[in-house]
Structure 1
Amino acid sequence: MKFGFEAAQGRADSGSVEIDLEEMLKNLTPAPKEERTAFGLFIDEMQDIFAELPGLQHQAGLREWPFYIIGAGLSNLSAVLSEARSYGQQLFDYRRIGPLDGSSTRQALDVPSVRFGAKFKPQPPENFRWHPVAIPISSKSMGRLIGI
């Protein structure tokens, strides 16, 4: 794939995903730390990701980098993370979610669309239900940042 320019050489270009991501975060995290905010990596279908992410989250926690992985995945996600790293399952806080009731479904659809000046036409039927099958997870250490 060509982008019309050459990649910068010298940092995060070793070819090892784990090393390159760690170098990228080392360069990226000082600014949010100084501003007392954080950098989040949001991942859907997290059970399909590469095994380096639990190690990266672990290193970020040890170094007190303001970096957090927030993801969603199938019910086998905790097992997949444990297979990737023995401590992978303990790095994250798991929350199961299920179907929304009618009122919550309408709110989930209407609030963001109205905020951007849009409206659903026609309105979803009253018996419409949204059935998410994901399990959102977030770094346990994120609670320190947001005061939980």
Structure 2
Amino acid sequence: MIRIDRSVWEQMIGHCRLALPREACGALFGPKGDSGTPAVTFLSPIANRAKSPETEFAFDAKDWIYSLYEAERSNRQLLGIFHSHPMTSGTPSALDMAGASHNRLGYWIVSFARPEQPIVRVYRLEEAIGGSREFTPIPYSVI
């Protein structure tokens, strides 16, 4: 279970909505040393520099480095990354699987398949039997 502050959850959806019809992306942070259920309390939008931003995302390197620097300076830890699916469900795509690389993070997807009712899903990348990888849904609550 992971928790996300309501204002951060709303910022994430708003950031993704503003980018339509392109995918939006960013990073999610929480306080360092939080020994209980992780809580996302800060969002860092990151520019999408993918060659085909309508169907994929790629973090802008400068934005990404700056967000990590600011997190360290503010005593925050990286808890997840997010991106949107402007036209499809919140299920990870083959491109998502190919680009995912960190199994401790929450992998948040904001789906606008129904634009009036965006759906947010969270996954964790897990190693499966035989060395393959798969996304496992993880529950979250908005606090």
TM-score (norm 2): 0.27
Larger radius of gyration: 1
TM value normalised by structure 1: 0.27
Q: Tell me which protein shows more strand as a share of its residues.
A: 2
More helix per residue: 1 or 2?
1
